[in-house]
Chain A
Amino acid sequence: MLSNLKGYYHPKSIAEALALLEKNSGSILVIAGGTKLVQSQNDIVQELVDITTLPLNYIKKSNGTIRIGAVTPLQSLGGSPLLLDSVGHILADAALLSNHSQMIRNVSTVGGELVSSGPLSVLYCALLVLQGQVRIAGGEEFALPMNIFLNKKGLGGGLLVETVIPQLNEQTYSALAPIINNRGQIIICACARLTAKNGSCKDVKVAITGCPKVPQRLDGVEKQLEGQVMTEAHMSLAAEEAYEGCHPISDDLASEEYRKEVSRVVVKKALLSCLEQAEDDL
């Protein structure tokens, strides 16, 4: 358990944190919640930069976007009225699904979850359909769309400082649908978001976990449903496209064949959940 750890820093500013990371690159890592890092058998890391002291714990609205600081605990997403009002239940549900234990969610951070998670991360998946971006502080600050960030290896000495999500309009609905085993582990999860315009589906975004490396968007489902009338029949038909578009992984939780088979089930459930919300609004 971090057997070679010698130094631990509490920087007072982002600039100080970046300077530490640059000076000692190779053997230094960033720590926020540390729930995955502390129990890892990492013998390479010799120093840690604790960024929880930085003012990056916030959820706020600004210029039509929602900004979530990198060290905001996952548990805070569940209880945020601002998030609920701006993007619906999807992020709160994704945060709750990230770990069944509240003790872990109290410590795990949004930034940590994004940087360290893999193919089964529901938070990634939800941010994909919400078209989130991550803002990274480095030599210069820059923003990366979620789909590019997910496929990028490492942050190149930069520091993830916040996640930015466009605020959804009133006719936009989002939902997720997971399959969870009896130990609370997520086998597969679909996230969907769409806008109801004159009874038709617009701006459809669907993504699924369980794909190699990171969660992925399902273009086939999106194209099939775009512009269609919002009915259960159209959504069921579009969900069938998930079977063709999904190329899932096999692991100790489920086989590739199982995940592929149920992909259309979870996609349909997520889409129908959006339809239900739209009908409730009418």
Chain B
Amino acid sequence: MKISLTINNKLTNIETPANRTLSDVLRTHGYWSVKHGCQTGNCGNCVVLVNGRAVNSCIMLAAQAEGKSVETFEHCESVSELQQLKVAIMDFADMECGYCVAGMFLSLKALIDKIPDPTEEEIVDALAGHVCRCVKEALPVDRILEAIRTSRGKF
């Protein structure tokens, strides 16, 4: 089937079988920041923004994104204002492999776009559903909050 969607502000027409997930289709088209993880919506590695909301693209069919705007981590990389936040999050969060960073970053971006000055509770809620295997204990939310505050006004 043919679907038409906007990926990172670029209108894109895609021919795909009806049963393919959005994560599969995005990776096929070179958006490698969308990671394969659990494929059940439990790890958050495949998160993208659809119409500004963070969603697990592994449990969403590409056909469901018809006519919608999809944003991946690649788009954030090209926005220089977001660099500060990304670097701050990686520095603060003691991450080693970086596999989960893209998904977490997009969830935080969706949160900050909606609530520029989030509370710790709102950050915990936004990051629930993300799994980081390097940070074995609970995610350092206080450090992430500090990173957001450090970056405030720069994105």
Contact = CB atoms under 8 A, between A and B. Distances in A.
Interface of A: 1-3, 5-8, 10, 31, 34-35, 38-39, 48, 50, 52, 73, 75, 99-104, 106-107, 184
Given A2-B19, A101-B44, A103-B107, A38 B1 contact: no
A48 B63 CA distance: 10
A184 B127 CA distance: 14
B129 interface: yes
Contacts, number: 79
Nearest to B63: A8
Given A39-B40, A104-B56, A50 B129 contact: no
Interface residues of B, number: 26
B11 interface: no
Given A3-B19, A101-B44, A107-B55, A38 B60 contact: yes
A102 to B, nearest CB: 6
A101 B60 contact: no
Contacts of A106: 53-55
Nearest to A104: B41
A34 B59 contact: yes
Contact of B59 (A6, A35, A52): A35
A7 B18 CA distance: 6
Nearest to A36: B59
Given A1-B19, A38-B59, A106-B54, A10 B41 contact: no
B21 interface: yes
Contacts of A35: 41, 56, 59-60
A205 B46 CA distance: 42
A107 B68 CA distance: 13
Contact of A101 (B18, B39, B41, B61): B41
Contact of B41 (A2, A31, A39, A52): A39
A103 B47 contact: yes
Q: Which 3 A-B pairs have the closest CB atoms?
A: A101-B129, A5-B19, A8-B63
A10 B128 CA distance: 31
A237 B81 CA distance: 60
Contact of A103 (B17, B39, B41, B64): B41
Contacts of A34: 59-61, 64
A107 B59 CA distance: 10
27 contacts: A2-B61, A5-B17, A7-B1, A8-B18, A8-B61, A10-B66, A34-B60, A35-B60, A38-B21, A39-B40, A39-B41, A50-B63, A99-B129, A101-B128, A102-B54, A102-B107, A102-B129, A103-B44, A103-B129, A104-B41, A104-B56, A104-B59, A106-B53, A107-B55, A107-B56, A107-B60, A184-B128
A111 to B, nearest CB: 15
B54 to A, nearest CB: 5
Contact of A5 (B18, B41, B64): B18
A91 B68 CA distance: 28
A104 B56 CA distance: 7
A3 B18 CA distance: 9
B126 A39 contact: no
B44 A6 contact: no
A3 B20 CA distance: 9
A20 to B, nearest CB: 14
Interface in B60-105: 60-61, 63-64, 66
A5 B19 CA distance: 6
A102 B107 CA distance: 9
Interface string B1-29: 10000000000000001110100000000
A3 B56 CA distance: 20
B113 interface: no
Given A48-B63, A101-B129, 11 more contacts: A1-B19, A31-B61, A34-B59, A35-B56, A38-B61, A50-B63, A50-B64, A75-B53, A104-B59, A106-B54, A107-B60
B86 to A, nearest CB: 19
B142 interface: no
Nearest to B103: A103
